[in-house]
């Protein structure tokens, strides 16, 4: 795709997105001032911008929101998926407006600033999304300076010099550094999150944190499990001392093949033990690698809360939430791994199950409630398998 000359800086422009090919996109900055370099992707969800930005799977990425009105319901302390946001920043169409929700405790602009995340508004996000669809997710620099002063040559140098997500392990960087227990449950409008609702006598799930979303843990607890979270680099022996009844492989950022260097040998030992296993997103990709399949970087990835997935066993369609830029190649699956779900957007693999050991995984996020509960059965299926094995 031909690159147009860099447009002159418009009056009042305090934010800029500089792509690795030299393209310059101007806007108005909000949130924190500064510079960040990463991959630009797009997300098609109409709601949940706080959950998206705080999802650890977005580490190393700048999110273009295709829905124009982002920030209009403010922010709060409930709608976050990790202790702090992991996306580098975001690009939006409309300016951030005052919060219009009884649940809001802080304007979205203030929330972004408090967490050191950069935003740009006033961008033609439709054109940027089309560019990503046609040419793939580009590396770029996002910058905000309230005086409007930018060194474009230096920003271009940074964008061109960033190595990209292919071959990059980010899971070990953002994972927890120590074990911890989790027993909080699901959220309700009346009571908020269910506190200390775990089942102390339930089957013990050890969840490996490659970039864990909190709502995954809440759903495991709601399904009846007792949960312990361990770091991404936890060894087989360290995990087995916890006496797990089953293993959960979490979502996370980066290239699964890079994370798989240390994760796959551990997972293979669990499979050899016939220990029940459930993976989501990066966990799905790591399970695929553990049985000998291959992963590939997608051109634009799947990110949004409106992705239809077909369940191959009965033909039912689930409306799912997705966030991934890598995928397991279906044609590389071994004979003991059968596809269970496919994306109806492009036919890519969205789920697999092993035929010789109790392990399964999905590429999408059943905890994200886009359907809103089309896929919650997966947590119940996993925990029920642990109770049956016990």
CA 20/CA 325 separation, integer angstroms: 18
In angstroms, rounded to a whole number, what is the distance separating the alpha carbons of residues 130 and 303?
14
C-alpha to C-alpha distance for 352 and 375, rounded to whole angstroms: 14
**β-pair partners for 305:** none
Q: Is 69 a member of any domain?
A: yes
Q: What is the CATH number of the domain that holds 78?
A: 3.50.30.20
* Domain co-membership, 214 together with 290: yes
* 77 and 175 in a common domain: no
Dist CA 170 CA 174 (whole Å): 7
Q: Please report where in the chains the tokens 């960087």 appear, as a residue.
A: 173
Examine residue 3 and state whether it is found in any structural domain, yes or no: no
- Rounded distance between C-alpha atoms, residue 19 and residue 89, angstroms: 14
Paired tokens of 72: 């209009």
Query: 380 is in which domain, residue-wise?
Result: 171-389
Same domain, 331 and 296: yes
CATH code: domain of residue 357: 3.40.50.880
Last residue of a domain, one of 115, 140, 161: 161
153 with 223, same domain?
no
Does residue 1 lie within any of the structural domains? no
In a domain, 343, yes or no: yes
As averages over each run of 10 residues, the pLDDT of the chain (390 residues) reads: 72 97 97 98 96 98 97 96 95 96 97 98 98 97 98 98 98 97 94 90 97 97 97 98 98 98 98 98 98 97 96 97 98 98 98 98 95 93 84
88 and 144 inside one domain: yes
Q: Tell me if 235 is assigned to some domain.
A: yes
Q: How many whole angstroms from its chain centre is CA 288?
A: 18
**pLDDT at res. 7:** 86
Cα–Cα distance, 60 to 165 (Å, whole number)? 8
Identified catalytic residue from 86, 144, 341, 365: 365
- Residue 175 token pair: 């994972």
- Helix (H), strand (E) at residue 25: strand 24-31
- Does residue 10 belong to any structural domain of this protein? no
Same domain, 142 and 271: no
Half-sphere CA count of 212, side-chain side, radius 13 A: 27
Number of domains in the chain: 2
Q: Please give the torsion angle defined by the CA atoms of residues 130, 135, 140 and 146, in that order, rounded to the nearest 10 degrees.
A: -20
For 273, counting Cβ atoms within 10 Å of its Cβ (0-12 exposed, 13-18 middle, 19+ buried), the class is: middle
DSSP for residue 195: T
Could you give the count of Cα atoms lying within 13 Å of 261 in the half-sphere of its Cβ? Answer: 10
Active-site annotation holds for 90: no
Is 241 a member of any domain?
A: yes
Q: Among the three residues 137, 161, 185, which one is the final residue of a domain in this structure?
A: 161
State the helix-helix crossing angle for 214-222 and 377-389, rounded to 10 degrees: 50
41 is catalytic: no
Pick the catalytic residue from 39, 51, 81, 281: 281
pLDDT of residue 1: 45
Same domain for 125 and 222? no
User: How far is residue 382's CA from residue 25's CA, in Å, rounded to a whole number?
Assistant: 46
Same domain, 239 and 343: yes
Domain membership of residue 302 (yes or no) is yes
Kindly state whether residues 155 and 178 are assigned to the same domain: no
Q: Are residues 92 and 205 in the same domain?
A: no
Q: Are residues 175 and 111 in the same domain?
A: no
Last residue of a domain, one of 161, 181, 214: 161
> What are residue 229's phi and psi, to 5 degrees?
-100, 135
Q: Which residue do the tokens 């219009």 mark?
A: 100
Max CA distance (Å), the chain: 67
Please report which residue ranges of the chain form alpha helices under DSSP H. 49-53, 108-114, 125-135, 152-161, 171-174, 214-222, 236-240, 256-272, 282-290, 377-389
Q: Tell me, yes or no, if 307 is annotated catalytic.
A: no
Residue partners of 178: CB distance under 8 A and separation at least 6: 231
Rounded-to-5 percentages of helix, strand, coil across the chain = 25, 30, 45
Q: Are residues 347 and 263 in the same domain?
A: yes
């Amino acid at each position: 795709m031909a690159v147009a000359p860099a447009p002159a800086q418009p009056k009042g422009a305090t934010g800029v997105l500089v792509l690795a090919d030299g393209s310059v996109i101007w806007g108005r900055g909000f949130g924190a001032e500064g510079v960040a370099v990463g991959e630009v992707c797009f997300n098609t969800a109409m709601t949940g911008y706080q959950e998206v930005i705080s999802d650890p799977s977005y580490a190393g990425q700048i999110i273009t929101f295709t829905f124009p009105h982002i920030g209009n319901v403010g922010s709060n302390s409930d709608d976050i998926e990790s202790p702090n946001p992991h996306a580098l920043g975001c690009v939006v169409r409309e300016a951030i407006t005052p919060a219009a929700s009884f649940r809001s405790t802080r304007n979205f602009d203030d929330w972004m600033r408090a967490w050191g995340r950069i935003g740009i508004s006033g961008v033609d996000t439709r054109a940027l999304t089309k560019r990503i669809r046609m040419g793939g997710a580009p590396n770029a620099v996002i910058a905000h300076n309230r005086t409007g002063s930018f060194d474009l040559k230096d920003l271009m140098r940074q964008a061109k010099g960033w190595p990209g997500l292919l071959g990059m392990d980010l899971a070990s960087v953002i994972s927890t550094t120590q074990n911890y227990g989790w027993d909080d449950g699901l959220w309700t409008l009346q009571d908020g999150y269910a506190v200390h609702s775990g089942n102390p006598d339930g089957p013990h799930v050890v969840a490996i944190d490659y970039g864990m979303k909190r709502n995954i843990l809440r759903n495991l607890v709601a399904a009846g499990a007792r949960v312990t979270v361990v770091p991404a680099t936890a060894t087989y022996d360290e995990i087995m001392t916890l006496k797990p009844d089953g293993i959960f492989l979490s979502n996370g950022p980066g290239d699964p093949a890079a994370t798989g260097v240390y994760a796959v040998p551990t997972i293979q030992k669990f499979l050899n033990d016939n220990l029940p296993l459930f993976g989501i997103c990066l966990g799905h990709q790591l399970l695929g690698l553990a049985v000998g399949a291959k992963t590939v970087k997608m051109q634009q990835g799947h990110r949004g809360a409106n992705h239809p997935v077909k369940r191959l066993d009965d033909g039912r369609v689930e409306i799912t939430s997705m966030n991934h830029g890598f995928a397991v190649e279906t044609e590389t699956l071994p004979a003991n791994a059968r596809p269970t779900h496919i994306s109806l957007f492009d036919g890519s693999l969205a789920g697999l199950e092993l035929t010789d050991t109790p392990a399964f995984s999905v590429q999408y996020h059943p905890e994200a409630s886009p359907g809103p509960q089309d896929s919650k059965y997966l947590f119940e299926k996993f925990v029920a398998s642990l109770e049956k094995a016990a």
